Amino acid sequence: MIFGIDEAGRGPVMGPMVVAGVKVQDDGKLIEMKVKDSKKLSSSRREELEEKIKNSCEYTLRVVSAEEIDTLRGSMTLNDLEAYLFANVIEEMCEGDETCYVDSASADEKKFKKMLEGNLKKRYSIVSEHGADDEYPVVSAASILAKVERDRKVKEISEDLGEDIGSGYPSDAKTRDFLQDWISENGTLPPYTRKSWETARDLMNKFKNSSLDDF
């Protein structure tokens, strides 16, 4: 058996991170599906493959809210957080006889493997590599499930808040404009925001300083 794990939404200032795990006997079916790293697929193609993957593979999804991320970030780095979440998913899905392929979150692949192993209660065969979502079909499949679920959650957030928040990434002008407008009108960060993120703190500090200047 082989197991692949990947995440979507590591860096956004708004919305959850989604971790997905996919387990198969071998990657034959995934190769036939022509799975790829989710970033190399169109939205419609990812959704098409999501259904096929879910119908033919064992899988799990872990949706980690902005609030939970903020809480965890109080005691760990972002790489530590990812290793912790990956370990949780591995222990949920794996019995120990699988080879687990992960897309390394750290610049140092070996270091991330050790971080991951430090969160596991027993030994697993771990392959930690950069670009694993492009190299191993089982990780590509996990990246697709994570990305589609993350996009779905962001859409739900936009519907709940009554306005398009964009992708949730700090580099997205639509996301930044939404945050600035919300803060200007309400004096607080909107729901679903990662308050521990530098972007969120900077925008709040800018608002507080401008308010003091007005006073």
Model pLDDT for residues 15-69, shown as the tens digit of each residue: 999 999 999 999 999 999 999 999 999 999 999 999 999 999 999 999 999 999 9
| pLDDT tens-digit map of 68-122 | 999 999 999 999 999 999 999 999 999 988 999 999 988 889 999 999 999 999 9
Q: Quick check: is 198 in a domain? A: yes
CATH assignment at residue 132: 3.30.420.10
Note the pLDDT of residue 215.
Answer: 36
Note the pLDDT of residue 106.
Answer: 85
Q: What's the total number of domains in the chain?
A: 2
- Tell me: do 34 and 57 sit in the same domain: yes
What is the C-alpha separation between 66 and 39, in angstroms, rounded?
22
**CA end-to-end distance (rounded Å), the chain:** 65
Q: Which residues contact 186 (CB under 8 A, 6 or more apart)?
A: none
- Tell me: do 144 and 167 sit in the same domain: no
Note the pLDDT of residue 2.
Answer: 97
Q: Quick check: is 214 in a domain? A: no
- Tell me: do 192 and 109 sit in the same domain: no
- Tell me: do 179 and 137 sit in the same domain: no
- Tell me: do 95 and 67 sit in the same domain: yes
- Tell me: do 110 and 193 sit in the same domain: no
- Tell me: do 136 and 193 sit in the same domain: no
Whether residue 191 contacts residue 156, with contact meaning beta carbons closer than 8 Å, is answered with no
| pLDDT tens-digit map of 170-200 | 999 999 999 999 999 999 999 999 999 999 9
- Tell me: do 23 and 129 sit in the same domain: yes
Q: Which residues contact 32 (CB under 8 A, 6 or more apart)?
A: none
Domain that holds residue 185: 162-208
pTM here? Answer: 0.94
Note the pLDDT of residue 214.
Answer: 52
pLDDT at position 213 over 90:
no
Determine phi and psi for 10, rounding to 5 degrees: -70, -45
Q: Quick check: is 215 in a domain? A: no
- Tell me: do 133 and 152 sit in the same domain: yes
Note the pLDDT of residue 212.
Answer: 43
